[in-house]
C-alpha cells in the first residue's frame, strides 16, 4: 500500500473523529476535510491511476455528502436566474368590457 492510500486511511479516521464530536464542530471539520482531501485525491490519482482516484473520490463524497449538497444548492441559487414578475396588463385595475 502506498503512502497516499495510507494518508487516505488517516483522512477517514479524522472524518470519523470529527463525526463523533458535537455538532458545532461538524461544518468547520468539513472545511478541514475538504482542504486536506482535494490534494490527497490528486496524489492518489497520480500514484494509483484514475480508477482508484475515482473510487476514493466517491468515498470522500459519501462522507461529505451534506457539504456537497449544500454547496450545490448554493451554486444553483446563485446561477439560476429568476424570471421578473409578470407585468400587470391593466395597471389601473380596471377591466375593459
Is residue 44 within 8 Å of 53, Cβ to Cβ? yes
pLDDT digits (tens, 9 = 90+) for 71-82: 888 888 876 666
The pLDDT value recorded for residue 75 is 86
For residue 79, what is its C-alpha cell? 446561477
Residues in the chain, pLDDT under 50: none
The pLDDT value recorded for residue 46 is 95
Place of cell 503512502: 3
The pLDDT value recorded for residue 51 is 96
The pLDDT value recorded for residue 69 is 86
In the chain, where does DSSP find H-type helix? 3-20, 26-48, 50-63, 65-79
| Integer Cα distance of 92 and 41 in angstroms | 62
Is residue 47 within 8 Å of 2, Cβ to Cβ? yes
The pLDDT value recorded for residue 11 is 92
The pLDDT value recorded for residue 44 is 95
Q: Any idea where the domains of the chain sit in the sequence?
A: 3-79
The pLDDT value recorded for residue 7 is 94
Amino acid at each position: 500500500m502506498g503512502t497516499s492510500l495510507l494518508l487516505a486511511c488517516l483522512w477517514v479516521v479524522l472524518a470519523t473523529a470529527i463525526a463523533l464530536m458535537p455538532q458545532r464542530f461538524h461544518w468547520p471539520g468539513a472545511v478541514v476535510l475538504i482542504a486536506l482531501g482535494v490534494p490527497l485525491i490528486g496524489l492518489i490519482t497520480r500514484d494509483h491511476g484514475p480508477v482508484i482516484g475515482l473510487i476514493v473520490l466517491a468515498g470522500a463524497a459519501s462522507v461529505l455528502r451534506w457539504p456537497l449538497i449544500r454547496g450545490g444548492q448554493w451554486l444553483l441559487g446563485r446561477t439560476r436566474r429568476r424570471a421578473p414578475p409578470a407585468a400587470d396588463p391593466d395597471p389601473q385595475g380596471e377591466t375593459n368590457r
